[in-house]
């Protein structure tokens, strides 16, 4: 049995997400499409599902926040959100983030701990360089 094919052009209407408006500040961020990837330009969708017992039971809220508003909101938190970058002192890391909006790998470190880490890095780099130098002509 032989399969037979024809080629036809199909025109169909599709909806395309082209921008998001921050629910907090109202700024609209346009999306950029490059090939098959859509850059959402630092707009974040937040989904909340209210469970049984809540006065909002069975409601699902969804809203968009621009990155500036999201970071500003998180900086008001008393506890760090899961997944946020931290070093071995998560409390101090998060407090530094709340003050500056940035991560400092040495938040909470004593001067001697910081020096120890930096010295280990120097030693590691020196070993790497020595290894590389072994193969130089
Ligand atoms: Zn915003």
Q: Please give the distance, rounded to the nearest whole angstrom, from the Cα atom of residue 24 to the centre of ligand 1.
A: 5
Q: Please give the distance, rounded to the nearest whole angstrom, from the Cα atom of residue 106 to the centre of ligand 1.
A: 30
Between residues 76 and 32, which one has the greater pLDDT?
A: 76
Surrounding ion ligand 1 within 5 Å at CB are 22, 24-25, 66, 69
Residue listed under structure tokens 């859509």: 38
The gap from C-alpha 35 to its chain's centroid, in whole angstroms, comes to: 22
pLDDT digits (tens, 9 = 90+) for 35-90: 777 777 788 999 999 999 999 999 999 999 999 999 999 999 999 999 999 999 99
Q: Please give the distance, rounded to the nearest whole angstrom, from the Cα atom of residue 59 to the centre of ligand 1.
A: 23
Q: Please give the distance, rounded to the nearest whole angstrom, from the Cα atom of residue 64 to the centre of ligand 1.
A: 8
What sign results for the dihedral spanned by CA atoms 52, 75, 62, 42?
Answer: negative
Taking residues 7-17, report their average pLDDT. Answer: 88
Q: Please give the distance, rounded to the nearest whole angstrom, from the Cα atom of residue 56 to the centre of ligand 1.
A: 24
Task: Tell me the two tokens of residue 110.
Answer: 């004593």
Helix (H) or strand (E) holding 28: strand 28-30
Residue listed under structure tokens 């500036």: 68
What was the pLDDT predicted at 14?
A: 85
* CA distance between the termini of the chain: 67
Q: Please give the distance, rounded to the nearest whole angstrom, from the Cα atom of residue 71 to the centre of ligand 1.
A: 10
Residue listed under structure tokens 């508003």: 69
Report pTM.
Answer: 0.71
Q: Please give the distance, rounded to the nearest whole angstrom, from the Cα atom of residue 44 to the centre of ligand 1.
A: 10
């Amino acid at each position: 049995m032989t399969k037979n094919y024809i080629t036809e052009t199909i025109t169909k209407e599709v909806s395309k997400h082209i921008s998001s408006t921050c629910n907090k500040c109202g700024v609209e961020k346009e999306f950029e499409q490059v090939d098959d990837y859509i850059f959402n330009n630092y707009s974040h969708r937040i989904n909340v599902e209210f469970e049984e017992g809540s006065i909002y039971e069975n409601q699902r809220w969804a809203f968009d926040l621009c990155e500036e508003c999201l970071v500003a909101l998180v900086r008001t938190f008393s506890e760090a959100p899961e997944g946020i970058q931290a070093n071995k002192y998560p409390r101090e890391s998060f407090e530094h983030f709340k003050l500056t909006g940035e991560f400092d790998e040495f938040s909470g470190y004593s001067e001697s701990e910081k020096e120890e880490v930096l010295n280990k890095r120097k030693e590691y780099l020196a070993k790497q360089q020595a290894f590389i130098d072994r193969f130089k002509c």
